[in-house]
Amino acid sequence: DFAKSKTLLQQRQYLPIYAVKEDLLNIIRDNNIVVVIGETGSGKTTQLAQYLHEDGYSKYGMVGCTQPRRVAAMSVAKRVSEEMGVTLGEEVGYAIRFEDVTSEKTIIKYMTDGILLRESLRESDLDGYSCIIMDEAHERSLNTDVLFGLLREVITRRRDLKLIVTSATMDAEKFSHFFGNVPSYTIPGRTFPVDVLFSKSVVEDYVDAAVKQALQIHVQARKGDILVFMPGQEDIEVTCESLTERLEELDDVAPLTVLPIYSQLPSDLQAKIFQKTPDGVRKCVVATNIAETSLTVDGIAFVIDPGYCKMKVFNSRIGMDALSVFPVSQANANQRSGRAGRTEAGVAYRLYTLNQYKNEMLVASVPEIQRTNLANVVLLLKSLGVQDLLKFHFMDPPPQDNILNSMYQLWILGALDNTGQLTTCGRSMVEFPLDPPLSKMMITAVEMGCSSEILIIVSMLSVPAIFYRPAGREEDSDTKREKFCVPESDHMTLLNVYQQWKANGYSSTWCNDHFIHAKAMKKVREVRAQLKEIADQQKMPLVSAGNDWDIIRKCICAAYFHHAATLKGIGEYVNLRTGMPCHLHPTSALFGMGFTPDYVVYHELVMTSREYMQSVTAVEGEWLAELGPMFYSVKESAKSRQEKRK
């Protein structure tokens, strides 16, 4: 009701940060670096940048604010543009990978930490900014951690730059210490007590348990909205469907608005979580980690926490990163519970036992820099002239093995030479805002004469979720999808989709008819245009392979040859380097066609019930053998297979 009845200005003045505005600005005037601590929802993200602008800093450069998450950057910029009464993209804008909504006029810029990191490549002193707010520092995202090290240097060169590091948790001391014992300021909180209830027994099916809990709250409890955490999009979709179905089965129950939120959700649907429901209608938001601290939904009185989140973690067993579901840390669990007590006293239902909380959850989660592949970071730092990465000033240094492993990957891709220096190829790779294997694919494609096709494939891979499969029409959509399948390659299947879309005049109706997200395809086209621009700048010509599709597969092989697998049994592959099993996913074109080639390469591994390869292309053993001595054994087996055939 508050949002409905109060003006935006009144809402701003009600935020806890407003009461300490002058204090904060004074401490920022007197210090170059300040750490600001405040509970989620206190107004750090939306207000700080505006205060700095009001205090005149934007006269000397932009006020930049980094976010670990794309959704947060977009949604907060939109909110702030409304609060300031300006058009989004003008005075207030945002930039995320492949999407720059800023202009000459922009004075407050929200962006992902990855964007600022790339900007530092072009402009190492970040001269365009008068202030930089490193928001959500407690998240310790990989890019934020790298920025910490870089900004620590920038600030010694630029005495006029203000750096503000914000965090929702009390780890201020660590940040303050890292920057040379700089002052920290805590925004006094205004929170209400939250009753934390643990599950009495171990929960087997957290989706089912969460749905039941939400319904029980809805039927029995007083007013107040519900926030359910889920690890990822699939679980969120199932939860929402199941909630809606079971609500229909119940007679005489008050209406409940069920709203999903995750990063791939179209932005108009994302915005819905902030809208007030009509009187007497309860809201249930089903969210990923994004609602833990990045986005604040007002009016939440009940939190349901299954205790899981999705994380990309380097898996030494398979020798690469894999996205999997892990238990959250105790710190995350406490943040989640806190979401119930922002506007009134609340209740948090934890779908795990007290024993699990105490004995199976880490106290705090491991920073991303210590658990993921660092190839991209190594490439960036090398091109910034950081020679010895083991000496770079990290807040928490990554394990040495991890750095060496990433350097090895860059070496086999030809980005680093034998002495660890950046090669010409490596320099060219840095120009593309892509993961190293994909930038390598772009460069190889020019040499091999298929850059026109590879540009499309890379763009398609950069926009996930092209196909959809509506409930009740699964068969229909699967049949349509199969028509696009190129039996030997998911990558070529993606190419085929794009080419047919193009042949149909880039039509949205055509997309809808084929269960393809029209918005996603539009995005692919934009990404393609941006990557083409980078290719043009580097004088990389677009050449088409024509009908020679083997060349395209060979090019894919060259970029992914460290992700190669060989056939072991029916539909079962083993990684060539590690011998670990990996499987064709049922949505793969190869699976659908019942085609099981001796060798494949794949884009990434996804761990669910088993290790699944995502985006798979059939390759020849001889190609793999050509690409490096570490595949000598492939050469052997390729030969012996040939002999056997003879």
Residues that bind ligand ADP (CB under 6 A): 15, 38, 40-47, 75-76, 78-79, 274, 296, 298
Long-range contacts of 89-92 (CB under 8 A, 24+ apart): none
Q: Which residues of 553-582 are buried (b: 16+ CB within 10 A; e: fewer)?
A: bbbbbbbbbbbbbbeeeeeebebbbeebeb
Q: Pick the closer one to ligand ADP by CB: 116 or 351.
A: 116
Structure tokens, 556: 């894919």
Of 334 and 614, which CB lies nearer to Mg ion in the complex structure? 334
Q: Shortest distance, CB of residue 115 to Mg ion, whole angstroms?
A: 17
Smallest gap from residue 303 Cβ to Mg ion (A) = 18
Closer to ligand ADP by Cβ: residue 66 or 462? 66
Measured CA to CA, the distance from residue 100 to residue 111 in angstroms comes to 9
Q: How near is the Cβ of 268 to ligand ADP at its closest, in Å?
A: 12
Q: Nearest distance from residue 19's CB to Mg ion, in Å?
A: 17
Distance CA 379, CA 386 (A): 10
Q: In angstroms, what is the minimal distance from the CB of 50 to ligand ADP?
A: 10
Rounded Cα distance, 172 and 187, in Å: 12
CB closer to ligand ADP, 169 vs 444: 169
Residues at the contact surface with Mg ion, assessed by CB under 5 A: 44-45
Give the single-character DSSP code of 246: H
Q: Which is nearer to ligand ADP, 47 or 242 (CB)?
A: 47
Rounded to a whole number of angstroms, the minimum distance from the CB of residue 79 to ligand ADP is 4
Torsions phi, psi of 291, nearest 5?
-90, 5
Q: Which residues pair with 66 in a beta bridge?
A: 111, 134
**From the CB of 290, what's the least distance to ligand ADP, in Å?**
12
Strand positions, DSSP E, 180-230 = 184-186, 194-198, 225-229
Tell me which of ligand ADP, Mg ion, none is bound by residue 79, counting a contact when its beta carbon lies within the kind-specific cut-off of 5 to 8 angstroms.
ligand ADP
42 binds, among Mg ion, ligand ADP, none (CB under 5 to 8 A by kind): ligand ADP
Q: Which is nearer to ligand ADP, 174 or 276 (CB)?
A: 276
Please report, for residues 449, 466, 562, 574, 588, the alpha-carbon distance to residue 602 in angstroms, rounded to integers and kept in the order given.
21, 18, 9, 12, 11
Q: Is 315 exposed, middle or buried (0-12, 13-18, 19+ CB in 10 A)?
A: middle
626 vs 606: CA distance, rounded Å: 28
Q: Which is nearer to ligand ADP, 40 or 428 (CB)?
A: 40
Task: Encode 313-327 in three state secondary structure.
Answer: EEECCCCEEEEEEEE
Q: How far apart are CA 145 and CA 90, in angstroms?
A: 29
Question: Which C-beta is closer to ligand ADP: that of 175 or that of 394?
Answer: 175
196 binds, among Mg ion, ligand ADP, none (CB under 5 to 8 A by kind): none
Nearer to ligand ADP, 6 or 358 (CB): 6
Using the Cα atoms of residue 327, residue 332, residue 334 and residue 339 in order, give the sign of their dihedral.
negative
Q: What whole-number distance in Å separates Cα of residue 61 and Cα of residue 163?
A: 13
Q: Which does 315 bind (CB under 5 to 8 A by kind): Mg ion, ligand ADP, none?
A: none
- 3-state SS assignment for residue 581: strand
Q: Of 429, 553, 427, 570, give the one whose Cα is nearest residue 487.
A: 553
Q: Tell me the C-alpha to C-alpha distance, in Å, between residue 255 and each of 1, 343, 546.
A: 17, 22, 57
Task: Return the number of the residue (75 or 130) whose C-beta is nearest ligand ADP.
Answer: 75
CB of 296 to ligand ADP, least distance (A): 4
- Which of ligand ADP, Mg ion, none binds 41 (CB below 5-8 Å, type-dependent)? ligand ADP
CB of 65 to ligand ADP, least distance (A): 10
Closest residue by Cα to residue 17 from 35, 1, 37, 31:
37
Residue 138 interacts, among Mg ion, ligand ADP, none and using kind-specific CB cut-offs from 5 to 8 Å, with none
Q: How far is the CB of 344 from ligand ADP (least distance, A)?
A: 14
| Distance between first and last Cα of the chain | 79
Q: Which residue is nearest to Mg ion (CB)?
A: 45
